Amino acid sequence: MKEQLLAVGIPEEQVKIKTANKDELKGIDLSSKNCPVRYIITVNALKEGWDCPFAYILASLADRSSAVDVEQILGRVLRQPYVMKHTASLLNVSYVLTASAKFNDTLQNIVEGLQASGFSEQDYRHKDAMNEEEKVQAISKPLDEFLFPEQKNAEEKIETDRISFSLKSKSKGDTDTAAVLEIANMAEELNKEMEAVIEKQSQQPADENIFQEMGEKVKRYQMVDTHKDVVSKIKLPQFFLDAPSNEIFGETKKILNQESLLKNFKLSKEDTKIDFEQISSDLYKVDLEQINKDQYAPRFTKSEDQQVKDPVVEYILAKPNENQIKEMTHPLVPLVGDMYPIADQEIRVYISRILTSLSPEQLQDILVRKWSYSDKIKTKIRQHADAYAEIQFNDLITVEKIVTDESWKFPEMIVPGQLGAAISNSLYEREGSMNNFEAAVIADLASLPNIIFWHRNLGRGKGFAINGFKSNHYPDFIVGTKSGKILLIETKGDDRDNSDSAAKCRLGNKWAELAGKNFRYFMVFDKKSIDGAFNLDKAKELIKQL
């Protein structure tokens, strides 16, 4: 196969073999920008777990029929390493090329299995270019006869004169054979179909496919007709990470999330100061005691576990201090849980550093109340990550690597679940539930003469989110004025002025600053407020003038 690739004009440095007996990739960094390798010939390396970065195109020559084999091989290219949406649409699709009827049948079985697991036909795209006659021929004359010529008396070669390939050619017409053009056109078509589905779903979270079997049990509420013309022209900005354009990938831009900002975060450099004194000192066990006939009440008593009688605990405490730290770190890591992209090993080392600084009494206490301690540790790690991400966020904004792009549109209908109070000028027939302070705020704002509509923003995954250096921030309300201004309103009771509110306020104000003159952000407290926020009276006074 390598000889035949070289025969059609592909440079030898671009072609490598990776098998159990021959590894021409040894010492080569495939991720390097200077790496010349473009073609890798392998037998079983992909299905045995070898990781090949930038694997977007797979040509399967073997007549594989094992579902496991096919699934493992496909997984290498379907995941699209380093994926982001590219301007060149051909780069938004992975390619699997096969001339095997068995492979194709097996692929169909995998698709059916995915559907049985809950996926629909809208979740994949498949094009079968082999007609039924060709399939019959392929099965009656196994492909192995062609692929493995050593099994035959005469060795067959690819007819290289049928292949048009020029390494130096820049003109699309010079290099594209009819087959390549067909594949490219097919990819363009399938990509457009998928983009249309994604666009429809993003604008219509209340997907009918999700609720069709539940019928009228799921209440949907349409947008009020009088607001449709105005709202159809509105798109709310979100933050995007702007990457430099290049010859291959074109202009690249992906929606920002905190994970992107934590790329170089090192937990090992952060302090381990945590106040464990606030952990409640009393543990209780709950039981039921009979008061009267057929009447029972809970009974709370201090747990005897305070005395640490568990033999496992005694066994750990009998060990030297260094070994105690190892034994105690092990169960705390899974309790802290996955904090991607922070590696588990970094979390393990960080927990060990914390335990090293504790007194023997505190170490003993951890064995009794590891859940309380793990919560404290996780909160501290999250604070470090948030602080680092915010610094990166502000730096990237300064150098214009983070930009805003108007990308989010109001859906035609919503499924709010629990309903809130009916207040005039709402965007939809009914809006979602609100607490007393939220209802009071929006009732006041909706009555202002310059307000044309308001909407109770839905929660995670359903409504509009300000993305940034923290987890997504979903403001409570989206309000429109007659002058075309869009206001995001986040309400906070006076007992909610914590550090989380302060971070959300900084994020919201930065969003308003970069979103443009038609967008505003208000964090509204009842009486008092934090830096960058407003009390209710001041907010109403300013909003009335917009």
- Which residues, in sequence order, are bridge partners of residue 239? 404
Mean predicted confidence (pLDDT) in 414-418? 85
pLDDT at 522: 96
User: Within a 10 A sphere around the Cβ of 15, how many other Cβ atoms?
Assistant: 19
Residue 343 has pLDDT above 50, yes or no: yes
Band (pLDDT 50/70/90 cuts) for residue 510 is very high
* Residue 324 vs residue 38, higher pLDDT: 38
* Residue 196 vs residue 385, higher pLDDT: 385
Apex 485 CA angle, 448 and 476, nearest 5: 70
3-state secondary structure 116-149: HCCCCHHHCCCCCCCCHHHHHHHHHCCCHHHHCH
User: Within a 10 A sphere around the Cβ of 188, how many other Cβ atoms?
Assistant: 14
Contact 76, 50 (CB under 8 A): no
Band (pLDDT 50/70/90 cuts) for residue 171 is very low
pLDDT at 9: 84
Band (pLDDT 50/70/90 cuts) for residue 64 is low
pLDDT at 115: 57
Cα 377 to Cα 351: distance, rounded to the nearest angstrom: 8
pLDDT at 191: 77
Residue 434 has pLDDT above 50, yes or no: yes
pLDDT at 390: 94
Average pLDDT over the chain, rounded to an integer: 77
Sheet containing 534-535: which strands, arranged edge to edge? Answer: 451-456, 477-481, 486-492, 519-525, 534-535
What tokens appear for 420 in the block?
């809130």
- As a whole-number percent, the residues of the chain with pLDDT over 70 amount to 64
Mean predicted confidence (pLDDT) in 76-92? 67
Name which of 523, 354, 503, 520 is nearest 438 in CA terms.
523
For the chain, residues classed under CATH 3.40.1350 are: 409-544
What b/e readout covers 218-233, taking b as 16+ CB neighbours within 10 angstroms? eebbebeeebeeebee
Three-class secondary structure of residue 311 per DSSP: helix
* Residue 489 vs residue 157, higher pLDDT: 489
Band (pLDDT 50/70/90 cuts) for residue 364 is confident
* Residue 480 vs residue 113, higher pLDDT: 480
Amino acid code (one letter) for 166? S
Band (pLDDT 50/70/90 cuts) for residue 451 is very high
Residue 504 has pLDDT above 70, yes or no: yes
User: Within a 10 A sphere around the Cβ of 277, how many other Cβ atoms?
Assistant: 7
Q: Which of 184-188, 450-454, 525-529 has the highest mean pLDDT?
A: 450-454
Mean predicted confidence (pLDDT) in 434-452? 93
Band (pLDDT 50/70/90 cuts) for residue 453 is very high
Q: Where are the alpha helices (DSSP H) in 204-236?
A: 208-211, 225-231
In CATH, the architecture of 409-544 is 3-Layer(aba) Sandwich (3.40)
Band (pLDDT 50/70/90 cuts) for residue 14 is very high
- As a whole-number percent, the residues of the chain with pLDDT over 90 amount to 29
Amino acid code (one letter) for 49? G
Three-class secondary structure of residue 240 per DSSP: strand
Instruction: Give the global pTM.
Output: 0.61
Backbone angles phi, psi at 338, to 5 degrees: -70, 125
pLDDT at 211: 52
Residue 294 has pLDDT above 90, yes or no: no
